[in-house]
Amino acid sequence: MIKHVPVMAEECIAFLNASKGKTIVDCTLGLGGHTKELLNIGCNVISIDRDEKAIEFAKKELPKEAVLINSEFSKLREILDDLSISKVDGILADLGVSTYQLEDDERGFGFKGKLDMRMNPKQKVSAFEIINEDPEEKISNLLFEYGERRFANAVARSICRSRTEKSIETGEELLEIVKRAMPPKYRFSREHHWATPTFRALRMEVNNDLGELKSLISTVPDCLKNKGRLAIISFHSMEDKIVKHMFRDYVKKGIAKVLTKKPILASKEEISLNPKAQRAKLRAIEIL
C-alpha cells in the first residue's frame, strides 16, 4: 500500500463539523486519506475523483460503504442528482496534486517521462498538444497567468523554436528547453525548482484547475443543507485567491458566513511529518 498522509485531517473534520451519520462529499479522493478519516468517525462519504486510477486504488483499500465516483467535482450537483440526494452536510476539497501522480512517469506531471499531465486520461488535450501546437503568444500568456512572470516570453519562444526541429515529447526535453531560456544566475538563486512554474502552468491549463474550482464553489449553495459547511485546502496563491474572494462574495450576499477569518495553516508538527503540508491553506464557510 502507498503511504499517504492527508493534510490537516483533524482541522478538516472540525471545520466540517463532521460526525457520525452526516453525509460528507470528499471532492478530491486521491489516495483516500480524508475519506478514510471521515469513514472512521461514522460519516457517510461520497468520494469523487476524475483520475480513474484513484478510484481503482480506493476500491481495493477503502471499506465497501464508501461511494466512489469517477468524475470532475464541478459536476457535483449532477452527481448528487444521480444518487437521489438533495443536499449534504459537508463538502471537502483538497486541491493538492498527489505524490503518486507526480512520481508516475507515464502520467507526465513531473520533470520526467511522457508529456501528458491529464488528471482524466480520457480527455483529448494533453500537455503534448499545448506545447507542440499552441501559438507562441498563447503559451506565453498561460505561463505568465499561472506564475512564470519573469521568463514567460523567453520560455515560450524557446519552446516554439525547439518544436520546429522535432516534437517535444517528454518532461526531460521540456526541462532542458526551459533551462536554456533562463540565465544560470537566476536558476541557481531560486528557493524552489526554477522549472516548477512552467510545469505547474501546463498542468493547470490541461486540467482547467481554476475553472473547475470556480464551478465547484458556485454550485455549493445548491448542494449544502442549511448550516452545511465547505472546506477547501489550496496549495498556491491563485487557488487561495479564488477561494477567498468567492467566499467573501457569498458573505456579502448573505448566503454564508466565513469560519476562517484567516487561512488555517498546518502545525509545525504536521509539517515535520508531511512537508507537503507547509504550503497548505485551509478556508471554510457555513451556508446560511
Tell me the pLDDT tens digit for each residue of 81-107: 999 999 999 999 999 887 666 667 777
Pairing of strands 44-49, 23-26: parallel
pLDDT for 1 beyond 70: no
pLDDT computed for residue 100 by the predictor: 64
Which CATH number is associated with domain 9-100+210-287?
A: 3.40.50.150
pLDDT for 198 beyond 60: yes
Write down the H helix ranges in the chain: 9-16, 33-40, 52-61, 76-82, 99-102, 127-133, 136-145, 152-163, 171-180, 184-189, 196-207, 209-219, 237-252, 268-273
pLDDT computed for residue 106 by the predictor: 73
pLDDT for 47 beyond 80: yes
Q: Model pTM?
A: 0.92
Closest CA to 94 of 262, 266, 268: 266
pLDDT over 70 percentage in the chain:
97
DSSP assignment letter at 117: -
| pLDDT (average), residues 103-123 | 84
| pLDDT (average), residues 38-66 | 92
Q: Which of 58-67, 103-112, 249-258 has maximum average pLDDT?
A: 249-258
SS3 166: coil
Contacts of 45 (CB under 8 A, 6+ apart): 23, 24, 25, 26, 35, 38, 39, 65, 66, 67
pLDDT computed for residue 186 by the predictor: 85
Tell me the C-alpha distance between 171 and 238, whole Å: 24
- Diameter of the chain measured on Cα atoms: 60
Residue for cell digits 460503504? 65
The mean pLDDT of the chain is: 93
Confidence tier at 136 by pLDDT (50, 70, 90):
very high
User: With helix as H, strand as E and coil as C, how does 2-28 read?
Assistant: CCCCCCCHHHHHHHHCCCCCCEEEECC
Provide the terminal-to-terminal Cα distance of the chain, rounded to the nearest Å.
41
Superfamily of domain 105-207: Putative methyltransferase TM0872, insert domain (1.10.150.170)
| pLDDT (average), residues 263-279 | 93
pLDDT computed for residue 175 by the predictor: 95
Closest CA to 26 of 84, 56, 71: 71
Residues forming a β-bridge with 230: 91, 285
Domain boundaries, the chain: 9-100+210-287, 105-207
Q: Residue 94: in which H helix or E strand, if any?
A: strand 88-94
